[in-house]
Amino acid sequence: MASLRADFDELRERIRHGRELGHASFEPVYYLVFPPESILEVKRQTPAWEAKLHQEGWDVQLFSISEQLWDLLKQDPFWPLWVAQDEKSPTDWKKTNDALAARASAEDGLLQRLERKLSELDGNENALLIVTDLEALHPFLRIGSIESKLQGSFHVPTIFLYPGTRTGKTRLRFLGFYPEDGNYRSMHVGG
């Protein structure tokens, strides 16, 4: 737990320096990387981190992947059909996962929702976005693919609370068991 606090303090310092230096060729995207077994502790700490950042002058906004994903699914006209199908074949995980992944990736999926949130914050020099609940993407998507598609859209510091492991300066393993991915263009702290 002490290292999680130290990692958060390091992250705050990096954000502060990034903000002072400007972001001419660097998008202010940061990953707080932590072991998957610390997911609950991160959830407990997030309100305190939000308060600390607010005390430092940031207008902190949260974007919960799990809330957005749940909202997407419940609003889909096929939701009742999916529920009925799942009740008929509750162990057919592939079909269920494929349907959910298609919806999460479809038009007005998670990518567009995050892009809209970033657009709302554009121009607010004190805005800071924390993206939580990345574990809800399993097994549908990886946040690295969303980040790369949004390249050029990050105008406010954005922190992704990333459950996984770090295998190098730019390589991460989502949830600690997916193959490592080096396509991140962000700054990583912890892990």
Q: What is the per-residue pLDDT across 88-145, written as a single tens digit (0 to 9) for each?
A: 888 877 877 787 777 777 776 888 999 999 999 999 999 999 999 999 888 777 787 7
Q: What are 129's strand-pairing partners?
A: 61, 158
40-81 residue pLDDT tens: 999 999 999 999 999 999 999 999 999 998 998 888 888 888
d(CA 119, CA 116): 5
Q: How far apart are CA 188 and CA 7, in angstroms?
A: 10
More confident residue, 32 or 88: 32
Two structure tokens written together for 62: 């949260």
- What's the distance, Cα to Cα, between the start and end of the chain in Å? 12
Total-model pTM: 0.87
Region of residue 60 (left: phi > 0; alpha: psi -120 to 50; beta: else): beta
Exposure class string for 16-47: b at 16+ Cβ within 10 A, else e: eebbeeeeeeebbbbbbbbbbebbeebeebbe
185-190: average pLDDT: 82
Domain ranges of the chain: 2-20+29-66+110-190
For 2-20+29-66+110-190, CATH number?
Answer: 3.40.50
The amino acid present at 12, given as its one-letter code, is R
